[in-house]
Amino acid sequence: MNSIVLQVLLYAFVAGASPVALGAALVVLGSRHGRWSGLAFAIGVVLGQTIVCALAFAVGSATLPVGQHAHDTARAIFELALGIALLVAGVYAWRQPATHAPKPNSRSKAVSDRLERLSLPALFFAGAALTLGPKRLTITLLVTASVSAADLSGTENVTLTLLYVVIATALVSVPVVLAIVFGPRAEAWMREVQVWLTAHRRPLSYYPLTILGVLVIIDATLILVT
């Protein structure tokens, strides 16, 4: 149980460590509807991530081979491929130039301007769409596959999934909660966090991706050789 909890925590951290997600939340909080906009966006993100997890469980149950050995082999092959992809992504992240301050470009400014003009329902769906990025989808599939293969009770499966959702969406939900409780002061705090995340984006990407990639490859190798 402790091993799968550690895996879920690592997956959730890698999925959720995104300055882009925090930046989007801050833009929404600074829009015309302020806290209501942030709340709609955060609910969309959390609910969207929950639905993606539920669909991943359903698809995994329907498509994985029947039989424990075949199930484990399929999961191990998937883990091995993902582990290699994570290592490649880690190398790519490390080769990127260090950034000491966020540098807005025309694309990010266009996205920010669009977010500021969206209605509350549109912000809800924009938040849900944030959970459909390739990195987050891939990690979510691995999380659900790992939890399913851990032979846990239904309650433990739900608990681990909720733990993943909470951590993976924290950079959106936490600023919104803080803004509701503390008002404008929270936005200033979160902007400082955003600057720090952007300045440390390379190590924050490289080390979790590399560590997770190595652990996943080791786990997959042990399954295949036993």
Q: Report the pLDDT averaged over residues 16-43.
A: 83
CB-CB contact of 37 with 31 (8 Å)? yes
d(CA 84, CA 214): 8
pLDDT digits (tens, 9 = 90+) for 163-219: 999 999 998 999 889 888 887 777 777 777 767 767 777 777 778 778 878 877 887
Angle, CA 165 vertex, CA 224 and CA 167 arms, to 5°: 95
**Prediction pTM value:** 0.75
The answer, yes or no, to whether residue 157 has pLDDT greater than 60, is yes
CB-CB contact of 24 with 172 (8 Å)? yes
Residue 77's contacts (CB-CB under 8 Å, 6 or more residues apart) are 220, 224
The answer, yes or no, to whether residue 2 has pLDDT greater than 80, is no
Residue 170's contacts (CB-CB under 8 Å, 6 or more residues apart) are 16
